[in-house]
Amino acid sequence: MRGEVSRLAELRQERARAFRKEVLPYLRYMGQSGFPSFLSLLFIASAIGYVQLIRHLPADFPIVPVGVIALTPLLAWSPLRTYLFPADIVFIMPREAEMGEYLSKSLRGSFFKTGWLAAAVFMLYMPIYLQGDANIPAWLLAIGLLLVKGGNMAGACQERRMAWSGIRRISRLLRWTLTALAVAAWLTALWWQAAAFMVLCGLLAWLCCSLPKKQRLNWERLIHEETMTRKRYYAFFGMFIDVPVLAPSVSRRPYLDWIIPRIRYAHSQTFVFLYGASLIRSELGGILVRILLLGGLVCYMAADSQNLAGWAAVFAYVLTGLVYGLQLSGLRAVHCHSVWKHVYPLPEEKQIEQLLRVDRAALIAGLLLLWLPAALPLLIGGLFAPPLAALAAAFLYAATRPARLRRKLRVEADED
Amino acid sequence: METILRVSQLTGGYTPRRPVLHGIDFELRAGEMVGLIGLNGAGKSTTIKHILGLMHPHEGDVKVAGVSLQESPQQYRSAFAYVPETPVLFDELTVEEHLRLSAMAYQVPEEQYEQSAASLLEQYQMVPKRKAFASHLSKGMKQKVMIMSALLAAPPLYIIDEPFLGLDPLGIRSLLDQLVEVKRRGAAILMSSHILSTVETYCDRFIVMHQGRIAAQGDLDAIRSAAGMEQRSGSLEDAFYRLVTGGDR
């Protein structure tokens, strides 16, 4: 029995090794793509901004809200890499009783990976925290937050066992809310008050977790989570090179879905319709929306502070616009292996033109939406040159991109 | 009757050195349903891929509605609809949107699309699922979407690979009824299936493939005769068994 258990744990290690081996070549392609240079640039720009911020922290800086916003996601986020596959329902599920060591290895791995990330953000936040009231010494705060992290890992494990997805979502929302409250308590109250509040939150979470119907091991949930994680990796590497295609995850996104029925019914719109729906509902659409939200926030903050006479906002706008464009170019890979591309009576050249139309519309919409938070605070503040320069850069990018993308698509079509 | 599909001396496969198909030669005329049968690996799917234009023949050629793929890709592709063995759908489109996409691709007038889509959804008991994403459908439902899309396009040729896999009994009945109807309207149907009793009942002619070659083709009597059986004695299954094993059961 013991031997069987360790064989399962070895299987997990083997799968983890195989995954690392699988993504290694993609990392190399990513390295050659210029993405690391872009990241370095972003890192340098952020580091300059960060150092300036902690040196001259404004008196009215919202220290506690920033701490809660920065720390909560990293403490509450509790992913689990199980390396489980759909076929495991047939081959490993019969040995469910022996899965303890397999899963505890996954749990340990996830705790350390997300823990390091949380620790890094904690270290970055400390210089800001210590300039405020700082009721609790940093080491004690670190212990408190570590306990919050541990509680979240345990809570997330219970959520994965829940039988109904609706209840699981509610439970997760509650866990995130309680985490935010506990973090706020640690940042504002005395240590014993914060500790007592954290224990109360933990008890409430435990009570709520213990009520719903649970499975011993929710295999489908674990496999789904693993598949989603792989998809995210592939979606990321897909920006640089062709990667294995997994069935895409789909989300209806009602705030964008209204666009699809408005695409005109016509033969000339066939692939506009297909790529439009794919863009809006696929993981790619979700990533683009997140880039717009995050980029918009960064642009707004840069514009609002009027750093470098407004040119910092232009810099942030250009960087975010390039990331958005780079990510958007992943659309061309969405149906590249679909049999219908060859079967539908639509010449390849027209398919390319229709894809370019979707790409152009999404690019212009994204660049304009990003421009608003970058430009409006500057225009209101009487600075006109930087927002106009940003607009000119956006037009230049949108005007030159289709030709480049068309060339790339033709080369890819010839290679097929 | 007009020839809709003409496969002439087709030799082909995945690598030039090892052809899978050897001298395949047959035709389909308007208003007939032909059953393509054979064991696993006999070359049915490879033949279908050559007809679809997904593979290049080593020798011979394929013409649909009188043109080859090289002569007129658009005319060639507009002339057939394909239902694959494994449903291949776009996960980010709903059932209704798949029908709309097919209708747009095959230039079905909008009014006709709306009428046909509503009627097909009704016939295949898919009205409650019309807003569901393909990724949320069972295999049989996915197959129904494939079939509805093909029927909506109303081309002169249907290429249907193992259409009954995963379909519920009502779905099978609807499909067969509709195939009879499209045949009556003058379309040609090439149907690959292992359900020999259904193939025997519904098809006008049969092509028996074995090891990449046509072992026999024609009506049931022609197949019996090729199998060394007497006229009007034994089923298609009996004849098929003798053709592919070389002996009696």
> Chain centroid to CA A274: how far?
25
Neighbours of B30 (CB within 10 A): 16
| Helix H or strand E segment including B141 | helix B139-153
Instruction: Tell me the C-alpha to C-alpha distance, in Å, between residue A90 and each of A86, A154, A220.
Output: 8, 27, 12
First to last CA, chain B: 38
Q: B69 CA to chain A: closest CA distance, Å?
A: 11
Q: Which of B53, B113, B135 sits opposite A250 (nearest CB)?
A: B135
DSSP state, A248? P
Per-residue pLDDT at B62 exceeds 90: yes
pLDDT, position A40: 75
Chain B nearest-CA residue for A350? B74
Chain A nearest-CA residue for B133? A250
**Do the Cβ atoms of A325 and A399 come closer than 8 Å?**
no
Question: What three-state secondary structure class fits A255?
Answer: helix
Q: In what order do the strands lie in the sheet with B80-83?
A: B80-83, B157-161, B188-192, B33-38, B205-210, B213-218
Rounded Cα distance, A362 and A248, in Å: 20
Rounded Cα distance, B198 and B189, in Å: 14
Place of tokens 């933990």: A202
Give me A267's structure tokens: 């033969």
The candidate with the shortest Cα–Cα distance to A324, out of A231, A398, A226, is A398
pLDDT, position A53: 85
pLDDT, position B131: 94
Rounded Cα distance, A369 and B237, in Å: 65
Rounded Cα distance, A321 and B11, in Å: 52
- Helices and strands per DSSP (H, E), number in chain B: 9, 9
Q: What is the pLDDT of residues B9-61, one digit of tens each?
A: 999 988 778 899 999 999 999 999 999 999 999 999 999 999 988 888 999 99
CA angle A199, A203, A204 (to 5 degrees): 120
Q: Would the CB atoms of A343 and B106 count as touching at under 8 Å?
A: no
pTM listed for this prediction:
0.71
Q: In what order do the strands lie in the sheet with B3-12?
A: B21-29, B3-12, B59-64
Give the ipTM of the model, two decimals please. Answer: 0.85
pLDDT, position A251: 84
pLDDT, position A4: 58
Q: Which amino acid is at A67?
A: G
Rounded Cα distance, A113 and A143, in Å: 17
Rounded Cα distance, B53 and A304, in Å: 58
Rounded Cα distance, A35 and A13, in Å: 30
Mean pLDDT by 10 residues, chain A (416 residues): 70 92 84 71 77 85 91 94 89 84 91 93 94 89 96 94 88 96 95 95 92 86 91 77 65 91 94 94 86 86 83 90 89 81 83 94 96 94 94 95 90 72
Q: Which of B92, B113, B135 sits opposite A278 (nearest CB)?
A: B92
Q: Mutating which of B92, B110, B142 best tests the A interface, going by the most A Cβ atoms within 10 A? A: B92
Rounded Cα distance, A112 and A153, in Å: 11
Backbone torsion region of residue B115, taken as left when φ is above 0, otherwise alpha when ψ lies between -120 and 50, otherwise beta: alpha
Q: Would the CB atoms of A347 and B73 count as touching at under 8 Å?
A: yes
Instruction: Tell me the C-alpha to C-alpha distance, in Å, between residue B199 and each of B186, B205, B227.
Output: 19, 9, 17
**Do the Cβ atoms of A354 and A405 come closer than 8 Å?**
no
DSSP state, B38? E
Rounded Cα distance, A107 and A149, in Å: 12
| Burial annotation A154-193 (CB, 10 A radius, 16+ → b, else e) | bbbebbbbbeeeebbeebbebbbebbbbbbbbbbbeeeee
Classify the C-alpha dihedral B182-B183-B188-B194 as positive or negative. positive
First to last CA, chain A: 51
Place of tokens 């209704």: B96
pLDDT, position A15: 93
Per-residue pLDDT at B249 exceeds 60: no
Rounded Cα distance, A296 and A325, in Å: 15
Q: Would the CB atoms of A339 and B84 count as touching at under 8 Å?
A: yes
Q: Would the CB atoms of B92 and A248 count as touching at under 8 Å?
A: yes
Rounded Cα distance, B36 and A176, in Å: 59
Q: A346 CA to chain B: closest CA distance, Å?
A: 6
Bridge partners (DSSP) of residue A46 are: none
Task: Name chain B contacts of A269, Cβ cutoff 8 Å.
Answer: 104
Backbone torsion region of residue A34, taken as left when φ is above 0, otherwise alpha when ψ lies between -120 and 50, otherwise beta: left
In three-state form (DSSP H/G/I as H, E/B as E, the rest C), the secondary structure along A362-406 is: HHHHHHHHHHHHHHHHHHHCCCCHHHHHHHHHHHHHHHHHHHHHH
Task: Name chain A contacts of B52, Cβ cutoff 8 Å.
Answer: 339, 342-343
Task: Name chain B contacts of A277, Cβ cutoff 8 Å.
Answer: 90, 92-93, 97
> Chain centroid to CA A101: how far?
29
Task: Name chain A contacts of B91, Cβ cutoff 8 Å.
Answer: 247-248, 250
Give me B217's structure tokens: 């083709």
pLDDT, position A244: 61
Residue B77 φ then ψ, to 5°: -75, -30
Per-residue pLDDT at B94 exceeds 60: yes
Q: Which of A265, A277, A282 sits opposite B104 (nearest CB)?
A: A265
Domains of chain A by residue range: 2-231, 248-415
Give me A313's structure tokens: 């906002």
Question: What three-state secondary structure class fits A242?
Answer: coil
> Chain centroid to CA A176: how far?
17
